[in-house]
Amino acid sequence: MMSFGEFWAGLGYNRYFLIGVAVLFACHLIYVIYRSVVVLSKRNAPSSSREQGVSVIITSNNKAQFLKKNLEAFLTQDYNNYEVIVVDECSEDETQDFLADMQQKYPHLRTTRIFPDTKFRNTKKIAINIGILAARYDVLLFSEIACVPATKNWVKTMQSYFDQNTAVVLGFANYKAGKECSRIYRYFRFLRFLRTMLLIKGGMYVIGDGYNMAYRKSYYMEKRGFSKNSQIYLGYDSEMVKELSKKGEVKVVKDVEARVVIEDCRKKFCQEDCMYYYAVKRTWPLGVQLRVSVDFIVLFLLYAISGYLLLTGVLHKYIAMLILLTFLMDFIVINVYLKHLTQKKLFLTSFIVSIFGLFYKWYFNLYSIFTSKKWR
Q: Which of 3.90.550.10, 3.40.50.1110, 2.50.20.10, 3.20.20.70 is the CATH number of 54-281?
A: 3.90.550.10
**Which residue from 204, 158, 193, 139 is spatially nearest to 341, judged by alpha carbons?**
193
- pLDDT, tens only, 326-373: 989 988 999 999 999 988 778 778 777 776 666 666 666 666 566 654
pLDDT tens column, 50-96 = 789 999 999 998 889 999 999 999 999 999 999 999 999 888 889 89
Q: Examine the pLDDT at 309 and tell me if it is beyond 80.
A: yes
What mean pLDDT do residues 140-154 have? 95
Query: Which sign, positive or negative, has the C-alpha torsion 190, 214, 154, 272?
Result: negative
What pLDDT score does 376 carry? 45
Considering only CA atoms, which of 56, 69, 54 is closest in space to residue 138? 54
5-19, 66-80, 311-325: least confidently modelled range:
5-19
Cα–Cα distance between 10 and 15 in angstroms, integer? Answer: 9
What lies within 8 Å, CB to CB, of 313 at 6+ separation is none
Q: In sequence order, which residues have a C-beta less than 8 Å from that of residue 288 and are 6 or more positions away?
A: 199, 204, 206
User: How far is C-alpha 22 from the chain's CA centre?
Assistant: 33
Tell me the pTM. Answer: 0.88
Q: Can you give the pLDDT at residue 121?
A: 61
Mind listing the pLDDT tens digit for each residue in 108-118?
999 998 887 64
The percentage of residues in the chain with a pLDDT greater than 70, rounded to a whole number, is: 85
Domain locations along the chain: 4-40+286-344, 54-281
Distance CA 38, CA 198 (A): 7
Give percent of the chain above pLDDT 90: 47
Q: How far apart are CA 331 and CA 341, in angstroms?
A: 16
Question: Across residues 166-193, what is the average pLDDT?
Answer: 89
Strand order of the β-sheet with 173-175 is 147-149, 260-262, 173-175
Phi/psi for 87 (5° steps) reads -100, 115
What pLDDT, in 10s, does the model give residues 223-277? 777 656 555 566 788 888 998 999 899 999 999 999 999 998 888 888 888 888 8
